[in-house]
Amino acid sequence: MARQELARFLRDRRAGLRPHEAGLTATGTDRRTPGLRREEVAELAHMSVDYYTRLEQARGPRPSARILEALSQALRLTPAERSHLFRLAGSSTPPGLSAVRRVRPHVARMLERLPETGAVVTDAAYGVVAWNPLARELLGGDLGGGAANLARRRFLGQGRMYESSSAEEFGHIVVARLRRAADRYPHDPRLSALLAELHVGSEEFRQVWRTRPVHAPGHRTKTLHHPDAGKLRLNCDVLLVPEDDQEVVLITADPGSSAAKTLYRLARRAA
């Protein structure tokens, strides 16, 4: 636990938070600084003023995850600041209550700037939360619409799923990620419903689930049999959006290859 750094971080965030931003009404004329008072933070975090004061003075005990979460909410910390607070206290950052099923605007804008790269953003439960036109050309026109889930596509045949050389490998990747999601979000009702649906509807899913596969996102290649463009050798690379537990899958082809030329034509058609 980095007591001095934690104390400094708490003081800085308290000083930078205005009363109205914390849902408080600034009253009286004796407020020396525009930030919150210690007693106001303590009240918002449902803890004693003495305990919070000792944290700011670097002489308090190591705070529990519950205390850290309460401070995160009281100080209106961003996800990155919340993670930093937990690290300073020597604790691992717990996940939220459920998987994040929205895409951040800057991530969505990034997809628009990749016209010759297929790009898909999936949440922790493999729901498709964003995509670009070339991805729809490659993966099927029913990719969007807000309801697509790649786990349902892979194991339940819901939606268009083109033949691919990586189908078996992808099945293990899906199960590994869903297992991680189940551990991180045990009280997410939509995730629980998805897992129940997959267990009931797919013997293959049940078999792979029992093997407890482990997979780290990275680079892989596959051959996709596209109904219009034919056989395409493609590269898939994954970028992480850690604050939302999401993945951005980038689909490309080797420069100068026939697949790259096909992607160019598909991108122009999609545009």
Q: Is residue 71 part of a domain?
A: yes
Same domain, 66 and 197: no
Query: H or E element: which one contains 54?
Result: helix 49-56
* Neighbour-count burial of 59, counting CB atoms closer than 10 A to its CB (0-12 exposed, 13-18 middle, 19+ buried): exposed
Dist. CA 27–CA 16, nearest whole Å: 18
Least confident of 47-51, 94-98, 211-215: 94-98
- The tens digit of pLDDT for each residue in 105-147 reads 888 888 888 888 999 999 999 999 999 999 988 887 677 555 6
> Do both 74 and 154 map to the same domain?
no
Q: Answer yes or no: is 40 within a domain.
A: yes
Distance CA 271, CA 257 (A): 21
Which CATH number do you get for residue 73? 1.10.260.40
Contacts of 64 (CB under 8 A, 6+ apart): none
Domains in the chain, number: 2
The H or E element that residue 179 is part of is helix 167-184
Domain endpoint, select from 18, 53, 88: 88
How many residues are given for the chain? 271
Q: Does residue 96 belong to any structural domain of this protein?
A: no
List, in sequence order, every residue forming a beta bridge with 251; answer none if it has no partner: 118, 236
Are 209 and 45 contacting, i.e. CB atoms less than 8 angstroms apart?
A: no
Specify whether 117 is located in the same domain as 218: yes
Asked if the structure places residue 68 within a domain, the reply is yes
Residue 183 shares a structural domain with residue 227: yes
Tell me the residue range of the domain where 150 lies.
105-270
pLDDT in tens, 36-60: 889 999 999 999 999 999 999 999 8
- Element holding 10 (H helix, E strand): helix 3-16
For residue 203, report the phi and psi dihedrals to the nearest 5 degrees: -65, -40
